[in-house]
Structure 1
Amino acid sequence: MYEGLLFKQHFEQYSKDAAENEKNGLIIAKRRFTRDEEKKGVPDSSDITEVKDLPTCLACVCLSGSVYCEETEIEEVPPLPKETAYLYARFNKIKKITAKDFSDFPTLRRIDLTGNVIEEIDEKAFEKLVLLEQLSLAENKLTRIPVLPTKLISFNANHNLIKSKAIKANAFKKLTNLAYIYLANNQLDSVPPNLPESLRVIHLQHNNITSITDDTFCKSNDTRYLRTRLDEVRMEGNPVILGKYPNSFTCLRTLPYGSYFK
């Protein structure tokens, strides 16, 4: 709801800003291109304001550091304004994320690519995004998780094809700010290892997890260890019977959601 209200406010302001032709990084046409018999569709240069390195904003909405490219049927990440902080490119036809797509945009704080058809992401595609806090790759066709930025707070990869063997042992270990992991509706057969101490919520429902260990969430060699921040673990819809592993939750403040009896 918050994002919807924010987008509405931005969009309402867009017409006003365009009329004033402020220097806000937008590409603004004085009037639409016209076609005549002599020019064959080539617009007169006097009819267009100076382009300011933002070709994407002709097809998308660019406002105050945010780029909205939703349901535009684009097949790759578009060129972005250099000061882009928030990218919303949901429900398109993007198939691949390359290492070059975000290499020149260290100001990015949020990327939402939900609802595309992404099958492949270059291993270092997000490596240079030192400020990125929120990344959503939900509802795609991913089979593995790439290297994630160190300051990430929220990672959403719900509804993909990710398997446990495709998640590196230390994929989340060094992400000391990571608080939210969403991996529901994938093909995991185990809980990702080495979950960070910063974790507050992890969603693993509707996977193929069959068992857990005393070290999955806790530390079997430290009976005093507590995960004081982790207060939501969802594992319903998995074959695992949680009641068989009572020592796996002794460090948690609340029990995981899931099946405890057959």
Structure 2
Amino acid sequence: MSLQYRSLFPVLWLLVLGSSRIQGQKNEDSNEFTENSSELLDLEHNSLAPQCPKKCACSPEGIVDCGGFSLKEFPIDIPEQTNHLSLQNNQIEEIFPEELARLSKLETLNLQNNRLTSKGLPEEIFDQLENLNYLYLANNQLTGAPKFLPRTLISADFAANNLTRIYDLTFGQKPNLRSVYLHNNKLEDPGLPENMFNGSDNVEVLIMSSNFLKYVPKNLPRALYKLHLKNNKLEKIPKGAFSELLGLRELYLQNNKLTNEGMDNETFWKLSSMEYLDLSSNNLSHIPSGLPRNIVLLHLEKNAIKSIGKDVLTQIKNLEYLLLHNNKLKARGIHPQAFQGLKKLHTVHLYNNQLEKIPSGLPRRVKTLMILHNQISEISRNDFATTYFMEELNLSYNKIISSQIHREAFRKLRLLKSLDISGNNLQTMPYGFPKNLLSLKLKVNEISSIPKGTLSGMSKLQELYMTDSLPFALFLQTLDMADNQLTSIPYDLPESLEYLYLQNNRITTVPEDAFESTPNIKGIYLRFNKIAFNAVKESTFQKLKHLQVLDIEGNFEFSDPWKNVDHSEEDMEEEEEEEEQELEEK
């Protein structure tokens, strides 16, 4: 077993045991442990574990758990043979050197979620812990990191403190060090030594998010595969800052102040192992050049990007996800060959931009295309002529009108399963929807008519949305077209239909053949339309053997049939009796 993973089980035990007592947790990016507590050791007081402190749980294997008891002082009677000690979730403010000096066999020390200050941890506090591998000091009140930590350290967690200073030997000269967590502190560039990891070349995970850094730290360990620097104040990436990080796979730089002037064409190009790059929420005006070819997921959303050049993306041959939403892109700013050769690119987010039309040269193998919340007013015949593999298309909340959707615009989208055109200016349901659609969303439009044949042949359609909030299934059982401006009952209703909701429209008549195609219908809801009393014939519903509910209240005649007619109280009582008798007979 390698030194990196030695004693992993005790570490898991210390963090999981008593987790129900944890009252505070560090905010982000911290190492997580999710082992099932049922698999952990039974740490009831054992006669073979002498001197177990009061309230604590001890085991003969040297594991001591004193977590979550609101302890204000370090227990003085911890057995000297202890190798894994948990004091998390207490109220300890100070630890004296002699209290730890006698615990020279400690491999894991968990002090997270206490009230420790830098004054309460003297410089020599860890001097005697020559076997310490794992140190957890997250969620305390430290302002400066310890000046010296044991050479044997594998993982150190100082997240969610008030650190402003790191020293040369805090993390330096530790050949076994693999992970360092420093997020949610108050670190600034002067508080970091230039050789912070000198002699610690094997660090693989460095989390420094949510600090006040303006520059990428210098001389980063070459073994890094995960680097988090998000939520800082980064303005510039110094030349060569990442040039030695050939194994770096994940780089998080979102929510900083990076500009294109703060990086050059060689900033990222040597990161040959890079798979995940997040540059979102910065001040980029265009996509940086020289991006590595192995990136799989590229975050560029929430910048000020106005254009995509011809060659800026084409070298990223492994790109699968491209997120460019919330920028300032216009269709004319996207080069027709911007996505050429990206055969693995299947998900593209372009929503919340300034696109006035569908960009030309869309990725040929795109499966999910999100173009909602733009300024698109028309869909031309060849806008999607080359995107044969598309399965999900979202065009909602643009400025599309029915007459500007070409009847053959979707002809090549034979694999399309979901189409959303909600929140546009459609007056009538367009023709030419793909026959294999499973979901069609048209809510928040001005649709007043559904021309005959617009839904014919769509035998796989399962969901049709035409209201603000109610979903309904066309092919299965329910169709909900309430709260629109329909003036007539739709044609071509599916045979499988069981419930039809048409309330709150402008329907004036109910033809005798309106429900001939729906023999299984059980509920028809037509309340609050404009149907006249004589515009509905009883024969319309006679053949519907399964009909259970016919709701036609709130129409002109049905809502107040006695309006403008004087009736005596006796007449009203007689009519009520007649109605009750009719109901009983039915």
TM over 0.5: yes
* 1:22 corresponds to 2:168: no
Aligned residue identity for 1:156? H
Deviation at 1:59, TM superposition (A): 8.1
CA distance, structure 2, for counterparts of residue 212 and residue 49 of structure 1:
54
**Range that drifts further, 76-85 or 134-143:** 76-85
Deviation at 1:64, TM superposition (A): 5.9
Aligned pair partner of 1:186 in 311, 327, 330: 327
Asked if 2 retains the 8 angstrom alpha-carbon contact of 1:156 and 1:183, the reply is yes
- Report Cα offsets for 1:84-125 as digits up to 9, x if no partner: 110111100000123311011111111001111111321210
Aligned pair partner of 2:372 in 236, 239, 255: 236
Asked if 2 retains the 8 angstrom alpha-carbon contact of 1:217 and 1:248, the reply is no
TM-score (norm 2): 0.35
Deviation at 1:203, TM superposition (A): 0.6
Aligned pair partner of 1:247 in 370, 382, 387: 382
Aligned pair partner of 1:216 in 342, 362, 377: 362
**Range that drifts further, 188-197 or 135-144:** 188-197
Query: Which residue does 1:203 correspond to in 2?
Result: 349
**Range that drifts further, 177-186 or 14-23:** 14-23
CA distance, structure 2, for counterparts of residue 245 and residue 237 of structure 1:
18
CA distance, structure 2, for counterparts of residue 50 and residue 84 of structure 1:
14
3-state SS of 2:31 partner: helix
- Bigger relative contact order, structure 1 or 2, given CA contacts below 8 A and separation 6+? 1
Aligned residue identity for 1:8? E
Query: Which residue does 1:145 correspond to in 2?
Result: 287
Aligned pair partner of 1:65 in 204, 220, 239: 204
* 1:158 corresponds to 2:279: no
Deviation at 1:217, TM superposition (A): 4.0
Q: Share of identical aligned residues, percent?
A: 22
CA distance, structure 2, for counterparts of residue 8 and residue 27 of structure 1:
12
Deviation at 1:127, TM superposition (A): 0.9
Deviation at 1:51, TM superposition (A): 2.5
Asked if 2 retains the 8 angstrom alpha-carbon contact of 1:98 and 1:122, the reply is no
3-state SS of 1:256 partner: strand
Deviation at 1:69, TM superposition (A): 0.3
CA distance, structure 2, for counterparts of residue 126 and residue 77 of structure 1:
13
Aligned residue identity for 1:249? F
Q: 1:68 to 1:256 in 2, by over 3 A?
A: same
Long gaps (5+) in structure 2? 1-26, 35-87, 89-107, 111-131, 136-149, 159-166, 184-196, 402-424, 426-586
Deviation at 1:253, TM superposition (A): 2.6
Deviation at 1:18, TM superposition (A): 3.6
Deviation at 1:23, TM superposition (A): 5.4
Aligned residue identity for 2:328? Q
Deviation at 1:81, TM superposition (A): 1.8
Aligned residue runs from structure 1 range 34-113, under 5 A = 51-52=172-173, 60=182, 65-79=204-218, 80-113=220-253
Asked if 2 retains the 8 angstrom alpha-carbon contact of 1:27 and 1:58, the reply is yes
Asked if 2 retains the 8 angstrom alpha-carbon contact of 1:207 and 1:238, the reply is yes
Aligned residue identity for 1:7? N
Asked if 2 retains the 8 angstrom alpha-carbon contact of 1:214 and 1:245, the reply is no
Deviation at 1:5, TM superposition (A): 7.7
| Paired residue total | 227
CA distance, structure 1, for counterparts of residue 233 and residue 359 of structure 2:
40
Aligned residue identity for 1:153? V
Query: Which residue does 2:276 correspond to in 1?
Result: 134
Deviation at 1:204, TM superposition (A): 0.6
Asked if 1 retains the 8 angstrom alpha-carbon contact of 2:255 and 2:282, the reply is yes
Aligned residue identity for 1:174? Q
Aligned residue identity for 2:152? E
CA distance, structure 2, for counterparts of residue 69 and residue 49 of structure 1:
15
Asked if 2 retains the 8 angstrom alpha-carbon contact of 1:155 and 1:181, the reply is yes
Query: Which residue does 1:121 correspond to in 2?
Result: 263
Q: 1:100 to 1:215 in 2, by over 3 A?
A: closer
CA distance, structure 1, for counterparts of residue 217 and residue 226 of structure 2:
13
Deviation at 1:66, TM superposition (A): 0.9
Q: 1:239 to 1:14 in 2, by over 3 A?
A: farther
Q: 1:75 to 1:5 in 2, by over 3 A?
A: closer
